[in-house]
Amino acid sequence: MYRLKTAGMRPLRGLQAPKFSTTAAASTSSATLKALGLDSFNLGVYNGEWSGNGSIVETTNPATGEVLGAVQQASAQDLDQTLQKASKAAKMWRSVPAPKRGEVVRKMRNALNDKIEPLGRLVALEMGKILPEGIGEVQEYIDIADYAVGLSRMLNGQVIPSERPGHAMMEVWNPLGVVGVISAFNFPVAVYGWNSALSLVCGNSVVWKGSPTTSLTSVAVTKILAEVLESNGLPGALCSLACGGADIGNAIAHDKRVNLVSFTGSTKTGRDVATVVQKRFGKHILELGGNNAIIVHKDADIDLAVRSILFAAVGTAGQRCTTTRRLFLHEDIHDTFIERLIKAYGQIKVGNPLHPGVLCGPLHTEAAVQAFEQGISDVTAQGGKILHGGRALKDMPGNFVEPTITSIAHDAPVVHREIFAPILHTIKFSNLPEAIEWNNEVGQGLSSSLFTTSPENIFHWIGPAGSDCGIVNVNIPTNGAEIGGAFGGEKETGGGRESGSTSWQQYMRRQTCTINYSGQLPLAQGIKFE
């Protein structure tokens, strides 16, 4: 079970904590569930029919400890039946012309848009991010669906010149079959959206296992998609759901019927998933850890940099894979910048994510609070200082912590470890090559940003001697990626790419086709075999 303790809300030191009524909370959550067709108890398996024979998991509001509802998870037998149905549905779906598949995704997009407010509110209730971010996450699914609809008419291969007379050579893309999506708690809507929208227009069926702690969101999204499929006479198994824990995720990784496994989560678990899938020669997309850095050069726009860092480090309570965790400041501006940053942090409102003006909601679980506290302890033990924050707010219900700024050496072990909490390590540097070296020295390689007004610095940063991350920004923060570009990172981030650009190619199989219309049999490379 996923349960949180409850206690009375008290004012936060230095900030005005919003008043919160348990009765009001229950009313809000009840209305939200009803608007999405959810009850206090829900089945967590869908493959054209709703079922569930596994354990029952309660999910809670991490800001209040309120139990939101319960979901009956999938059993091993449930998953087996779901994969059977998904495999059958994929064989039908692959023959539907891609633009027609895009029309179905367009209808899903409209259905999601109709439910954007209650679904975004559910994300805020169950995950803990503030309401604008919850609604923004649903908008991200809507946006990638728009992208996928256009893509459905542009799944183009290419014509390749043949060296043999009377021959034509071309590249053809065909569907894979079944795509398994294992997503994390921090983006319980968007990550599935990236994968499912592209998978569907590419001609695949999808089997989704979301995080157990956001099971209600998984069920709500699937209900919206299922209604579209059923009303269009299509098998619901095209968008199957198998809620569950590590056992279900492990079974998806092992099953040969799953042609592609898209996994979002920790580097440790991702390494295990990749090993299992590779052993059976399946395909995988890995979106793993991030330990992202912003470099602020002495010629940077300081106002722009402070505002950017505030959201990048504190947004979603530091629980984005693209959260800024390391901040490198040029020695000429270091002291002034720190002073301004601390002042800005002092204005952050921490509290219930549904309340207006709150910028930092709770951490998702009690375990995350413990990881935060261990990180703070490690900072001081490794020679660092706490410049701001550093406390778990135990006088409030839920899992609240203070957004924290530290000063510490670039190579301290705690700096090289991703802590999924709002801890920002600040480090002084003297020149850009030094800062780039420190940016690149961690194991992760997801997102990175440089603030500068120098063209020379910009092109150094994005060039071969610059950042080694998959996302390399200039004068914008590490988070907030657009759906048009491929999202993902290198090294321990896993190398996967989702969303835009040519990411769709991962969901299809590439075939090089040569057609001989000459009546002769010339061989390539001028080989004679007569």
Active site amino acids:
287, 321
- Nearest CA-CA partner of 390 in 364, 416, 414: 414
In this structure, which amino acid lies at residue 407? S
470: left (phi over 0), alpha (psi -120 to 50) or beta: alpha
**Tokens 């009313």 correspond to what residue?**
27
Q: What are the start-end ranges of the E strands in 192-256? A: 205-209, 239-242
DSSP string, 399-435: S-B--EEEE--TT-GGGGS--SSSEEEEEEESSHHHH
DSSP annotation of 19: P
Distance of CA 370 to the CA centre of its chain: 23
Sign, CA dihedral 353-414-302-487, equals negative
**What gap in Å lies between CA 72 and CA 63, rounded to an integer?**
23
- Whether residue 235 contacts residue 88, with contact meaning beta carbons closer than 8 Å, is answered with yes
User: Strand locations in 229-345, DSSP E?
Assistant: 239-242, 260-264, 283-287, 292-296, 324-330
Q: Which residues are bridge partners to 71 per DSSP?
A: 42, 57
Find all residues with CB under 8 Å of 525, minimum gap 6, and list them: none
β-partners of residue 425 are 326, 406
Taking residue 26's Cβ as centre, other Cβ atoms within 10 Å add up to 15
Q: Is 136 within 8 Å of 187 (Cβ atoms)?
A: no
Inter-residue contact 25 to 66 (CB < 8 Å): yes
Residue listed under structure tokens 């920004």: 473
Identify the H or E element spanning 499. strand 498-499
The closest alpha carbon to 328, from 359, 360, 291, 303, belongs to 291
Q: What angle do CA 476, 384, 394 make, to 5 degrees?
A: 85
Distance (Å, whole) CA 263 – CA 285: 6
- H/E stretch holding 316 reads none
Name which of 273, 206, 243 is nearest 69 in CA terms: 243
Residue type, 142: I
